[in-house]
Amino acid sequence: MILASIKDSGVIEKLHPLFPKAFAYLRQTDFTKLEDGRHEIEGGDLFVNVQTISGKGPQEAKIETHKKYIDIQVPLVGVEQIGWKATADLVETAQPYDEEQDIAFFVDRPTSVSRIYPGQFAVFFPEDGHAPGVGEGFIRKVIIKVKR
């Protein structure tokens, strides 16, 4: 997991060939004019999910993992807390891996929690189990999906 400010994304962009395009999209897009849903940047290799969610309590947030995609999660409105636990340390499956949706859920509890504010981003690799959506009120966020 990486947590940083969008204005400091330059170093992170070197970690994956599609990261520069993903962060350029973040910097150049007016998300107030973008509806919730999926928006393709580069087909199935790089796309964005815009979501408006009602924040949930920590006990309601399930840890999820992905095998095919890296998540770059960015809150636009509201502060989001996201729990973390290493994928290799996850033990109790709540929902087995769904290859089509590229997601599995776990009963395990996070070993750490980060607060992510508008203007910041968190990167979750397949090695990072994460429990998103914890917060109060409505949270509008962007999830950029980057194919590994």
Tens digit of each residue's pLDDT (9 = 90 or more) over 85-96? 999 999 999 999
Chain position carrying tokens 């290859």: 99
Whole-number Å distance between alpha carbons of 145 and 21: 12
Letter string b/e over residues 102-136, b meaning 16 or more CB atoms within 10 A of that residue's CB: bbbbbebebeeeeebeeebbbbbbeebbbbbbbbe
**Phi-psi label, residue 143: left if phi above 0, alpha if psi -120 to 50, beta otherwise:** beta
Domains of the chain, each with CATH number or no CATH:
2-147 (2.60.120.370)
| pLDDT, tens digit, 9 for 90 and up, residues 40-70 | 999 999 999 999 999 999 999 999 999 999 9
pTM: 0.95
